[in-house]
Copies of this chain bind each other. A is one copy, B any other.
Amino acid sequence: MTTRERPTLEAVARRAGVSRATVSRVVNGSTTVAATIREAVNRAVEELGYVPNQAARSLVTQRTDSIALILPETANRVFSDDLFFPAIIRGVGAELEAADKQLVLMMTGSEAGHHRVERYAVAGHVDGVMFASIHGADPLPGLLARRGIPVVCSGRPMTADPPVPYVDVDHAGGVAAAVRHLVADGRRKIATIAGPQDMVAGIERLTGYHASLRDAGLPELVAQGDFTRESGILAMRDLLERGPDLDAVFAASDLMAHGALQALRDAGRRVPDDVAVIGFDDFEISRYSDPPLTTVRQPIAEAGRTMARQMLRLIAGDPEVAPSVVLPTELVIRASA
């Protein structure tokens, strides 16, 4: 391994026969440099393979040009068949790439990881921190914000101690559309498989269910899941037991809806003839399920892009950053309901 010394600005300057200042200007794309000199400097940079020392640079600029995306989950959860994280990462990545910022992914399933991320950010490793999801009343976003670090969350934080800008989708509106569709179809015993109640997405979809059924004057039937397919299977079995006469089920995630489809099939119920099923997400796979899943589409990648844009504004010092952006959801009707 060649442990050659890294060339400095000084070295480039000597080789090009100019001052450090001039080299710095060229490297940073200043226009006020004579063409001939610029060329000489660029040649020297090339020959020496010069790359600016990030530590020195950010010591004076106060910037690192890299931004963290926190995945407050364990590796097992992040990397599963749940396509939420990939989608949000794609959205964030695309927007940051366009802005030439480096995306830094950090998983913090454990408590210790949580604390290390805090130090990492406060120490100035990154210019800002985005959260891909929030569990319970996670203090970290507020903590960082109070430190003056730009923070944006995906999903409304449950604690708004110092209010942190967030991007979310219209959960309630999506659920309402789903329930309306079921009611219009003549369904009268509409159950739900709720998401985890330590996450705003889970809570708001359940709240939306409550509100919609109340408006429609229909009886409720709730089972608890955690967004995963397995939990959908278990919850559906539970529902069938407690409400054998149900004729529809709204699952708070596509994966749980798929689990429900499977459990219904196992129980000999036909979808949608006996039981209508609606999910929430609109993952790719939902187009190919049996039957294809009617579901509430939420623009996850778009949420990621939006989150990144807000972050870039925050970093740029834009005072006009909206405290929240809520993206619309949309009912996608296929065969299951």
Contact = CB atoms under 8 A, between A and B. Distances in A.
Interface of A: 1-4, 6, 49, 51-59, 64, 66, 75-76, 78-79, 81, 83, 85-86, 89-90, 93, 97, 100, 102-107, 110, 112-113, 116, 119-120, 122-125, 145-148, 150, 162
A162 B123 contact: no
A4 B107 contact: no
A209 to B, nearest CB: 29
Contact of A162 (B1, B89, B112): B1
Contacts of A55: 54-56, 58-59, 64, 124
Given A2-B162, A97-B112, A53 B148 contact: no
Copies of the polypeptide in the assembly: 2
B1 A54 contact: no
A56 B49 CA distance: 24
26 contacts: A2-B145, A2-B146, A2-B162, A4-B147, A4-B148, A6-B122, A6-B148, A52-B123, A53-B59, A53-B124, A54-B55, A54-B125, A55-B59, A55-B64, A59-B59, A64-B125, A66-B120, A75-B86, A75-B89, A78-B79, A79-B83, A79-B86, A97-B112, A104-B104, A104-B106, A105-B107
